[in-house]
């Protein structure tokens, strides 16, 4: 019975297995969506203050499965699904959806992708050029796409040893200095932690080998996404499976100054998603406006009727201070 329950939880978390063709019960390509406000009293847990949230719904057959999010402008979002489709979503001043556009991401040969080749789990955007990098878990690769998401400009396999299928690149963050950090979901089964990489340049183009390090989640669960904070640190979203609730989401931060070859990096927890809003959160984005820092989280519904595509907004407050230079070098504290 335990094995059956564990298998059910895993299916809820990761959806269809790689290699499967994604099929939809009924073809509907209507470009329409709605955002149903969530009724939840604002509360603060640690450094996260809940602001507002929505249940995103659409009749479009490819709408959902969101595993990455970027806030491209006030009220405008780019969502990437692990089915190989993107969704551009805009909100008006009242919080209602004003426009939506769902479209297929480009593929290598131009044909519809199987699950492994479409399983996009992470995304970062260069604000200046609009270019988009996506991490594909099923093929262990990073692609760079043009700003219109119409073509693959460059692609690069992750270096060996190969991360296991469906446990590969799950989270990615682009730092202000141009470096890119990639976290595996559950690779290597190494006692030091989960494997991770930091690239000095474009992770989708030929270049120097990345630095490999390890992340010790310390029981928070598996990393489901990452985002760069304005102070240079990295926010990590963790997903922990259980029974009630099925999903617990814990948010923590790490300092890239701790990353060196073979290092074991540890985080500091800043908060968690309130239990009434529990879902399978896989996408995170950071925005700064008028000196305030906002965290956006989106949930992957795995195209299951019993799950929801939720979009939440939090304000990050009272974050722990960055380490001093002495602490980063192993000093006290």
pLDDT in tens, 267-311: 999 999 999 999 999 999 999 999 999 999 999 999 999 999 999
- The predicted structure's pLDDT at residue 18: 46
Query: Please, what is the average pLDDT of the chain?
Result: 88
The dihedrals phi and psi of 179, each to the nearest 5 degrees, come to -75, 155
| pLDDT confidence bin for 186, thresholds 50/70/90 | confident
What pLDDT, in 10s, does the model give residues 59-71?
A: 999 999 999 999 9
Of residues 87 and 138, the one with the higher pLDDT is 87
The dihedrals phi and psi of 256, each to the nearest 5 degrees, come to -60, -15
Most confident of 67-71, 127-131, 166-170: 67-71
What pLDDT, in 10s, does the model give residues 229-282?
A: 999 999 999 999 999 899 999 999 999 999 999 999 999 999 999 999 999 999
Domains and CATH numbers, the chain: 2-17+28-320 (2.120.10)
- The predicted structure's pLDDT at residue 326: 56
- The predicted structure's pLDDT at residue 328: 54
What pLDDT, in 10s, does the model give residues 118-127?
A: 789 999 999 8
Q: pTM of the predicted model, to two decimals?
A: 0.89
């Amino acid at each position: 019975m335990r094995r059956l329950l564990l298998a059910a939880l895993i299916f809820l978390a990761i959806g269809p297995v790689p290699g499967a063709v994604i099929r939809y019960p009924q073809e509907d390509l209507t470009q329409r969506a709605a955002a149903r406000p969530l009724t939840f009293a604002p509360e603060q847990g640690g450094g996260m203050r809940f602001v507002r949230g929505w249940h995103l719904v659409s009749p479009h057959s490819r709408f959902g499965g969101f595993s990455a999010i970027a806030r491209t402008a006030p009220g405008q979002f780019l969502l990437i699904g692990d089915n190989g489709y993107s969704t551009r979503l805009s909100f008006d001043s009242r919080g209602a959806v004003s426009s939506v556009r769902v479209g297929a991401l480009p593929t290598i040969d131009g044909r519809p992708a199987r699950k492994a080749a479409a399983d996009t789990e992470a995304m970062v955007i260069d604000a200046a050029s609009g270019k988009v990098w996506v991490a594909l878990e099923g093929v262990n690769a990073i692609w760079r796409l043009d700003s219109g998401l119409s073509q693959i400009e460059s692609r690069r396999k992750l270096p060996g040893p190969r991360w296991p299928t469906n446990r590969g690149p799950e989270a990615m963050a682009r730092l202000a200095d141009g470096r890119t950090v990639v976290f595996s979901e559950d690779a290597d089964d190494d006692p030091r932690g989960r494997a991770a990489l930091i690239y000095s340049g474009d992770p989708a183009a030929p270049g120097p080998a990345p630095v490999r390090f390890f992340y010790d989640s310390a029981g928070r669960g598996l990393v489901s996404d990452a985002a760069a904070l304005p102070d240079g640190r990295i926010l990590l979203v963790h997903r922990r499976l259980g029974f009630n609730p099925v999903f617990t989401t814990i948010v923590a931060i790490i300092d890239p100054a701790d990353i060196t070859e073979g290092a074991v990096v540890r985080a500091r927890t800043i908060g968690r998603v309130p239990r009434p809003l529990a879902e399978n959160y896989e996408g995170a984005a950071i925005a700064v406006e008028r000196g305030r820092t906002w965290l956006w989280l989106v949930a992957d519904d795995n195209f299951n009727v019993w799950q929801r595509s939720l979009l939440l907004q939090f304000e990050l407050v009272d974050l722990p201070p960055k380490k001093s230079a002495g602490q980063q070098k192993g000093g006290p504290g």
